[in-house]
Chains A and B, each alone.
Chain A
Amino acid sequence: SAVISQKPSRDICQRGTSLTIQCQVDSQVTMMFWYRQQPGQSLTLIATANQGSEATYESGFVIDKFPISRPNLTFSTLTVSNMSPEDSSIYLCSVEELRGVIGELFFGEGSRLTVL
């Protein structure tokens, strides 16, 4: 199964700043996703990171707020822009393997952001 590394694992940020989260996978994967898990809540899909093209965003999420890059099959970044305390969440990178079961995801350990 894919091994996913996310950086940073946690950070405390000031209001109005931006932070980029990196996701590195140890094997080539078809799909990469970014999820948000707000305190005490379930996971919400932010977007699908597409290699070499713009990410596909879910309703309620926009590129200006959450720009995403995916330059190759094993790496993606998510930026949380102009942060406010409402952005305090765990952000999770997940992947679907090239020859895996559709819908079976592997997750990084998450990046826990606290915005002051």
Chain B
Amino acid sequence: AQSVTQLDSHVSVSEGTPVLLRCNYSSSYSPSLFWYVQHPNKGLQLLLKYTSAATLVKGINGFEAEFKKSETSFHLTKPSAHMSDAAEYFCVVSEISMEYGNKLVFGAGTILRVKS
């Protein structure tokens, strides 16, 4: 069965500095991986997705993530943080297996704080 570990529950950066949100996954099969963002009092919005194509995935609002199979990682990055990036971010793994069908597993979330 798959699992997701988000290594930091909180990350704080200054506006204009790089963002790194870390995610490691465990999967028995070839997974699809996603990052979702949740702004306060809002639903979740898809930032980007990896589905076995290019390992470097670009998403909305300048975010990108790199799938590294050897490290079982899918870290989310952004070169320069903006105040509007302050939100909670969820790493999600999806896999289809004979045993479990299509299952999505959400990480615990990382709250990103951006200081002015």
Please determine whether chains A and B interact with each other in the same assembly: yes
Instruction: Mark A residues whose CB is within 8 Å of B.
Output: 4, 41-45, 92, 94, 101-110, 112
Kindly list chain B residues whose C-beta atoms are within 8 Å of the C-beta of A108.
43
In the complex, how many residue pairs between chain A and chain B have their CB atoms under 8 Å apart?
49
Nearest A residue to B44 via CB reads A107
User: Residues of B within 8 Å of A, CB-based: how many?
Assistant: 21
Q: How far is the CB of B1 from chain A (nearest CB, A)?
A: 12
Q: Is B17 an interface position by the 8 A CB rule?
A: no
9-residue interface stretch from B18-26, B65-73, B75-83, B103-111 = B103-111
Interface SS majority for chain B: strand
Q: Is B14 an interface position by the 8 A CB rule?
A: no
Question: Given A41-B108, A42-B90, A42-B108, is A104 in contact with B46 using a C-beta cutoff of 8 Å?
Answer: yes
Kindly list chain B residues whose C-beta atoms are within 8 Å of the C-beta of A102.
32, 94, 96, 102
Interface pair B43/A104, CB less than 8 Å apart: no
Which of these, B44, B46, B92, contacts A92 with CB under 8 Å? Answer: B44
Nearest B residue to A33 via CB reads B104
Q: Is B63 an interface position by the 8 A CB rule?
A: no
Interface pair A109/B42, CB less than 8 Å apart: yes
